[in-house]
Each structure stands twice: as structure tokens, then as C-alpha cells.
A and B are shown apart, each in its own frame.
Chain A
Amino acid sequence: MQYPTNIRIIKVPCTGKVDVIHLLTAFEAGADGVFVVGCMEGDCHYVEGNLFAKKRVKRVKAILDKVGIGGQRLEMYNLSAGMGGRFAEVAQEMTERIQELGPSPIRIAKGTAARPTGEVAA
């Protein structure tokens, strides 16, 4: 499976483990974009973990809009573990979106903006 090299994957047992503060911390640390990849809705091994994640992603998108970072830098996708091809697609999609948006305002403000990097939690 081929996907862009600018992705850093953080594995979690369930996207339900991803909390609001984790997403904000990623941006504080300089991530240009973050995407959360969870199981298909209805198929969550832990029943509703991916639904919690969905709500948290929505909440953080709103915060990012209000603090001048932009909610489009964060997204949630749903796929099953076997959908390798789709994962590559999603990674590509997200990378292109972030490239278009440019480096995160945090990195620009800190003067560390060079090549765009996308952080991924999967």
C-alpha cells in the first residue's frame, strides 16, 4: 500500500480513545493537519467509540475555526481494517487538502514552516 510519506501514524485501540485535548495538542505541537480514521459506523468493536470520536472531531473543528487555525485541517474518516486502498486514498486526499492550505499558522508564527507535514491518528 502506497501512501504519502508526510503522514505520521499514531495507533490507538479505538478512535474512542482520542480525546479533544489530544487533537488540540497535536496542533499545538505543530501539526499542519490531523485526520482521525475510525471503523465504519455501526462496526465499532467497542460499540460506539467511533461515534464519540466523530463528536469530538466536530467540536475541535469548531474550536480551530475560532482560534484562527481553521477546522478544515482536521477531519474524520471511517473505514474498515481491510480497506487498505481506501486508506491510501484518504491519506492522499488529506495531504492535498493540507498542501493547499499551507503550513499551520502555528508553524508560521514560530518560524518553523518548511515542508508541510500531516499527522495522522489511526
Chain B
Amino acid sequence: MIKAKEKPLNEVIDMVKDLKKVLIAGCDGCVTVCEAGGAKEAKVLAAALRLFFTQEGKKAEVDETSLTRQCNKDYLQELQDRIDNYDAVVSIACGCGVQFLAEMYPTKIVYPGVDTCFMGVTDERGVYSERCQACGRCILAETGGICPIARCSKRMLNGPCGGSERGKCEINPDVPCGWELIYERLKTLGQLDRFENPVAPKDWLTSRDGGPRKIVREEIQI
């Protein structure tokens, strides 16, 4: 899923400090799973901002809500009747949700309340790590189910590099060497022969480098 983390509170305070009515909009999707922008977090952020405004002697209203998903207009529509009551919305959904909300209500100021970080997995509660870079053409079949683009700091296709030491990446001893992981996995699977042939340069057109992407599925469009 998408993994995000709460923006530093001071940053959010800076965005809203001169406003009178603010709505915190959470999302029950990805940001709930990584405990950054769900209903619970919306409540906490709203309470923190209310405390801020009150002790500043400012009269301001901060309400909270949470939508099933902010990347879907059907749910964003639920805000239709109340959104005009507010000077701004702080959306604590991922970057996609913030943008879609802003698109749906273009005359409303929408602020992001989280920093969207990556597509990843939950290693354990409170620990999330990156797994996928959305390159648009999945090669996991060739690398034993471990992605060199997301997990090698240099996104090499013919790794590991000379900086791989004791299973760790040269950039940080907390980062495993993606290619060592691939090597161990291919060894377990009996596929070490995949290391023998050079892999040709990748076509990056399907990745971010090709420009903003879109999928159109005619067969399921209404």
C-alpha cells in the first residue's frame, strides 16, 4: 500500500494558523493502515490544532471527518454539503487523495497533512519499508520475487555493485543489499543461472520518466 507519515505539527500549524474554520479530512484507506491519516489521526490532529488556537487566544473551529477513500469521487462527494463551511481542508490522505479532493473542490484551499513516502509493506506495526517503484513493467519473475529497482539503491539490473558489504548497502548499514537478497533467493530457488547473462538496458518509458501515467480499461468502462 501507499505509506505516509504525519507532517511535523509545526508545518501544519503554519498552514492554518490564520484561518478561522478548518476541516481535517482523514482517509480510511492506506493512511489508516500506516496510522498516519486515518479517522484516529484526524481526531488527534484536530484536537492538537484546537489546543493551539485556544491557547493563542484565537477563536477558530477545527472539525474532523474521515472518508472511505479520497482517491474516489463517490466518497469525496460526501463532503459536498459541508465543505463550504470551512476556510480550508487539511487532507491527511496520501498525495493522491489530497489532489483529488482539491480537483473536486477547486475553489477550496486544500493542504496536505502527511508526507507521502512510498509504496511498501508493513514489516511490523510502526515499521514500513519500500517494495515497489511502479516502473510499469514488472520483472519480479526474473529476480526471484525481489525487485532490484525498488531495493537496490542504484536500481541496477546487473548487480550487486562493488559497495555491497556483508549483505548491506553502501549507503546505510540498515539497508540490505537488494542484490544480495536476490542472490540468496535465486540460490534457494535453484535459479542462479539467471546471473550468467547480462541484462540489457531497461525501457523506462513505462515509469515516471515517461511522463504522468494513465491506465484506460475500455473493457470495464461504463
A and B touch in the complex (CB under 8 A): yes
By a beta-carbon cutoff of 8 Å, the part of chain A in contact with chain B is: 20-21, 24-25, 27-28, 63-64, 66-69, 105-106, 108-110
What residues on B are CB-neighbors of A64 within 8 Å? 51
| Majority secondary structure of chain B interface residues (helix, strand, loop or mixed) | helix
- Closest chain-B Cβ to A107's Cβ sits at a distance in Å of 10
Whether A67 lies near B57 (C-beta < 8 A) is: no
How far is the CB of A61 from the nearest CB of chain B, in Å? 12
A27 with B44, Cβ < 8 A, contacts A66-B10, A67-B9, A109-B56 known: no
The answer to whether the Cβ of B96 comes within 8 Å of any Cβ in the partner chain is no
A6 CB to closest chain B CB, in angstroms? 21
**B5 smallest CB distance to A (angstroms):** 13
Whether the pair A69, B55 counts as a contact (CB closer than 8 A) is: yes
What residues of A have a CB within 8 angstroms of the CB of B49 in the complex? 67
**What B residues does A69 contact at CB under 8 A?**
51, 55
| Chain B hits for A66, CB < 8 A | 9-10, 13, 48, 52
Q: Residue on B with the closest CB to A104?
A: B55
Bound-complex Cα distance A106 to B52 (A): 9
By the criterion CB–CB under 8 Å, are A21 and B44 in contact?
yes
